[in-house]
Amino acid sequence: MKFILYCRKSTESEDRQMLSLDSQEKELLALALKANLNIVKVFRESKSAKEPGRPVFNEMIKMISSGKADGILCWKIDRLSRNPVDGGQIQWLLQNEKIKCIQTFEKTFLPSDNVLLMSIEQGMASQYIRDLSSNIKRGNRAKLEKGDWPNRAPFGYLNDKANRTIAIHPVNSKYVIRAFELYSTGSHSFKEISNILYTEGLRAESGKKFYSGNIHRFIDNPFYSGLMQRDGKLYIGNHMPLISKELFDKVQNILHNKNRPRSQTHFFPLRGFLVCESCGCSLTAALKKGHHYYYCTNSKGVCTEHKTYMRENTLYPMVASLFEKLDIDENLIEILYQSAKEKLGLDEDYVKSILSTLKMSLEALTAKESRLVDTFLDRQISKEIYDRKMLEVQNERVLVSKQIQEIQEKHSKQISTLEPTKEIFLRASRARKDFLKANDEEKREIIEIIVWNLSFKNQSMAQHQFKSPYSILSKVPKDSDFQTMRRV
């Protein structure tokens, strides 16, 4: 048999995962070699197969029809065709045994097989399903925008099938309201609320208890306050709210301000930064008899010091004393900073006052927007007026935000060259004091930024290195003058 090797890849999304033309050809040539297939021609085509009329494909068909080849080698059967016209052509050539074999990487198709047509049908069907589901999504969005809920009513409501609306469930709605009221006191967990409502007669459809997860879902669903949430977007619903927006907001605050329980294991701020000068192993930390100690892990097994424990509170002053080398007079830093700013012609106060005015008008807009929603939810204004007013507010917000953004960008571009330098100077000058009064997490942060390779021998500090740019600052003579500073 004389085989044509056919490779195809389009730039369309359906083919994004497909092997490149080079890879297809390489893999298939290896396969041909292994199966001892006689390749008479290689065709490569960069084109989608959704529509009939591919030039290279047509050339291949011509070659087969005239008997110059009678087999096709391709990566997958969908490389040949994704439309019924081309598919039918291949199928016809197969039936007439002009094509005696189609070999893909995984399968062999012979004249007796109808697999090709089937695969094309499948391809078209899956496209149809994709279109359908995006049509449904579009339809749902349109409904939501009109204020209608496109799905099953949440617990506490009913789907009124006759009027195609959402109605309040006379009994269940009471439990939802009760759940919100209980939670808003801030003194009940979801589990407790689930128990209370159970004793008050609340049952799920199955007749069982409503678990805490269900209660959580009520509390989190803005539907009960008259809004509808879909894919993170809020819509105003036509249904009657069960609770006020005020109660919903209050409950959300409680829900999201809960403190998370903290992990129990102790955090050792210096762990990972300290090295044993004697053997080069890193020091680890442990809690012993109520105190925190650092000691050599002796992981090389040769250390003479690994029985030496250093108390955490003797280590801290040693580390802090390092930072004395970075102490630069803060007044001097400020003078340097101000003079640099003057050179650039920046007037801080002026920018600040413009920004605060603009931010106040943004806040006013937010208040206006929320008043508008409340007024609408209370049925005091019509949807038309609401929409129009809302659009005005939103447009104005865009304008103000844009203005703020522009001013900030311009200002920060100017300041961005100065600010970090000043930060570094200030951080350095305060490092010692900051370190001593910092909590554990902050201590680690300071160390991480400023130093590395702290090594210890005989319970005292042996070596250390400052990270850049602090290494430069540490070399500035302690009582240096303005000129020296600027040179640094």
Handedness of CA 303, 305, 307, 310 (dihedral sign): negative
The count of residues interacting with Zn ion (CB under 5 A) is: 7
- How far, in Å, CA of 408 to CA of 429, rounded? 29
Closer by beta carbon to Zn ion, 303 or else 438: 303
Query: CB-side exposure of 30: number of CA atoms within 13 Å?
Result: 7
Classified as helix, coil or strand, 292 is: strand
Q: Kindly state whether residue 310 participates in binding Zn ion, applying the rule CB under 5 A.
A: no
Contact 98, 42 (CB under 8 A): no
Site for Zn ion (CB under 5 A): which residue of 31, 117, 196, 279?
Answer: 279
Q: Kindly state whether residue 278 participates in binding Zn ion, applying the rule CB under 5 A.
A: yes
Closer by beta carbon to Zn ion, 302 or else 344: 302
Site for Zn ion (CB under 5 A): which residue of 64, 168, 276, 320?
Answer: 276
Tokens of 488: 């640094």
Site for Zn ion (CB under 5 A): which residue of 120, 193, 303, 322?
Answer: 303
Residue range at the interface with Zn ion (CB under 5 A); choices 80-88, 192-200, 263-271, 272-280:
272-280
Contact 69, 33 (CB under 8 A): no
Shortest approach of Zn ion to residue 427 CB, angstroms? 32
Site for Zn ion (CB under 5 A): which residue of 120, 144, 296, 431?
Answer: 296
Tokens of 243: 């609770």
Q: Identity (one letter) of the amino acid at 357? A: T
Closer by beta carbon to Zn ion, 306 or else 444: 306
Q: How far is CA 312 from CA 44, 238, 286, 465, in A?
A: 70, 64, 10, 20
Residue range at the interface with Zn ion (CB under 5 A); choices 219-227, 291-299, 311-319, 377-385:
291-299
Residue range at the interface with Zn ion (CB under 5 A); choices 49-57, 111-119, 302-310, 319-327:
302-310
Q: Kindly state whether residue 4 participates in binding Zn ion, applying the rule CB under 5 A.
A: no
Residue range at the interface with Zn ion (CB under 5 A); choices 163-171, 277-285, 437-445, 470-478:
277-285
Which residue blocks in 45-165 are alpha helix, DSSP H? 55-65, 84-95, 115-145
Strands 71-74 and 2-8: parallel
Q: Kindly state whether residue 153 participates in binding Zn ion, applying the rule CB under 5 A.
A: no
Shortest approach of Zn ion to residue 288 CB, angstroms? 18
Mark 26-47 as b/e (b = at least 16 C-beta within 10 Å).
Answer: eebeebbeeeebebeeebebeb
Residue range at the interface with Zn ion (CB under 5 A); choices 25-33, 210-218, 258-266, 299-307:
299-307
Interface positions with Zn ion (CB under 5 A)? 276, 278-279, 281, 296, 303, 305
